[in-house]
Structure 1
Amino acid sequence: MTLNTDLNIPDPDGFYDELLRAHEGLDKAQSDALNARLILILANHIGDRETLRDALAAARGEDG
């Protein structure tokens, strides 16, 4: 599986708003924990180790 970094979410601004709302009322530690859980849930959904490595590299700003 190749990492898709092209815009791929219908209504990305709407999703971003939902993501921000999910963090409302949380302190920093709770927000960090929510992000960690979300990352693990989505990584499990993807399931492909190579794609996950590519995503980690992209998130770090590395050339892949």
Structure 2
Amino acid sequence: MPRLELNPNFTDPDAFYAALTALHRDRSEADSERINARLILLLANHIGDQAVLEEAMSHAVADGDQ
């Protein structure tokens, strides 16, 4: 069964961060929220495995509570 990858796995984390921030630059908060929602759904579809997605959701909640 696939597991959520929690170790750094980016080929170029700085490039990803730059692209993500550029995606939101000069957009309204509402537009950024819509973009984030679409991005989450696209990536969830790409992952496709319900158990992995639920593990990611659990980590997102737990990490936010710290």
TM-score under structure 2 normalisation? 0.89
What amino acid is aligned across from residue 19 of structure 2 in structure 1? E
CA distance in 1, matches of 2:8, 2:30: 30
Q: CA deviation at 1:32?
A: 0.5
Tell me if 1:16 matches 2:25. no
Q: Deviations over 1:8-35 (max 9, x none)?
A: 0111011001000001111000000000
| Percent of pairs with identical residues | 44
Gaps of 5+ in 1: none
- Greater helix content: 2
Gaps of 5+ in 2: none
Match of 1:42 in 2: 43
CA distance in 2, matches of 1:54, 1:13: 25
Match of 1:54 in 2: 55
Question: Which protein has greater RCO, CA pairs closer than 8 Å, 6+ apart?
Answer: 2
